[in-house]
């Protein structure tokens, strides 16, 4: 917890590596990416050394002790790559989900009122936050076969940008897709699944953790405080390539119990 602010800076800068791979980054951004990568590598290297032979029940210890069939273990470089990837994927995106979700709830006071009246709607509310304002607007995929989309042929091995935000508001999949509705995923029949966690072999490994963290954070904020209001109606976006606000300043009043 004490390293939270440091993690925020590192992960924000490190995600600019995605831009670097597409030759979109400025020299200044490239320097920040390199510095963040080196800082993260040094941080985790120290943690691995501290554990040494005294492994615990934490995730890093599990990675260190993990063995494949045949007795192979992760190399030091593989441990670093996996640890940094897990931190970025499970930290930056969840910040975005909580920040975006809280913003949309404040913008829709009737929906907050429904959630306060029925706290059990928090699971549905978080799913709607993921659909309506997820932290990842698009992703890149490589085609395994030749396909035709909208009458346009696309060859195998081509890189395509999958715009998840558009898919999540597809009127053929979602009724009234432009409406933010905390009850949407509590109804039967259950609506189509959103694409914010990907799908198939690319489905987000940390989906369950992200849901749990967001349900706890958003649920507690909504139930413990009222008169929630945005200080700035216009969202100030961070440097991250993910859809993550730099900050969400709000005013509030503690609710009387």
Nearest 5°: phi and psi at 230?
-75, 135
Please report the pLDDT score of residue 1 as a whole number.
Answer: 61
C-alpha distances (whole Å) from 171 to each of 87, 88, 176 are 34, 32, 7
pLDDT level of residue 242 (50, 70, 90 thresholds): confident
- Lowest average pLDDT, out of 46-60, 160-174, 181-195, goes to 46-60
Q: What is the CATH number of the domain that holds 171?
A: 1.10.630.10
What contacts 186, CB < 8 A, 6 or more positions away?
Answer: 121, 123, 124
Extract the tokens encoding 192: 């189509």
Q: Is the pLDDT of residue 174 over 60?
A: yes
Q: Note down the domain range covering 116.
A: 4-254
Please report the pLDDT score of residue 140 as a whole number.
Answer: 87
Q: Is the pLDDT of residue 20 over 60?
A: no
Identity of the highest mean pLDDT range in 64-78, 175-189, 229-243: 175-189
Q: How many domains does the chain have?
A: 1
| pLDDT tens-digit series, residues 22-39 | 555 677 877 888 898 899
For residues 147-162, average pLDDT:
94
For residues 114-141, average pLDDT:
96
């Amino acid at each position: 917890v004490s390293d939270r602010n440091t993690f925020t800076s590192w992960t924000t800068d490190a995600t600019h590596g995605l831009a670097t791979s597409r030759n979109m980054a400025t020299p200044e951004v490239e320097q920040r990416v390199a510095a963040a990568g080196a800082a993260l590598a040094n941080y985790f290297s120290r943690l691995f050394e501290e554990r040494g032979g005294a492994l615990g029940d934490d995730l890093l210890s599990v990675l260190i002790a993990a063995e494949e069939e045949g007795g192979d273990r992760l190399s030091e470089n593989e441990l670093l790559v996996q640890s940094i990837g897990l931190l970025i994927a499970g930290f930056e995106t969840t910040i975005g989900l909580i920040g975006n979700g809280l913003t949309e709830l404040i913008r829709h006071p009737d929906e907050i009122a429904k959630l306060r009246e029925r706290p059990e709607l928090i699971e549905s509310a978080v799913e709607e936050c993921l659909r309506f304002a997820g932290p990842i607007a698009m992703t890149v995929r490589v085609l395994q076969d030749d396909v035709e989309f909208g009458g346009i042929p696309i060859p195998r091995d081509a890189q395509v940008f999958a715009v998840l935000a558009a898919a999540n508001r597809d009127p053929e999949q979602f009724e009234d897709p432009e409406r933010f509705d905390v009850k949407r995923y509590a109804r039967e029949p259950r609506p189509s699944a959103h694409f914010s966690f990907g799908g198939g072999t690319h489905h987000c490994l940390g989906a369950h953790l992200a849901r749990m963290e967001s349900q706890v954070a958003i649920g507690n904020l909504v139930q413990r405080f009222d008169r929630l209001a945005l200080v700035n109606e216009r969202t100030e976006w961070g440097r991250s390539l993910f859809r993550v606000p730099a900050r969400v300043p709000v005013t509030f009043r503690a609710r009387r119990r």
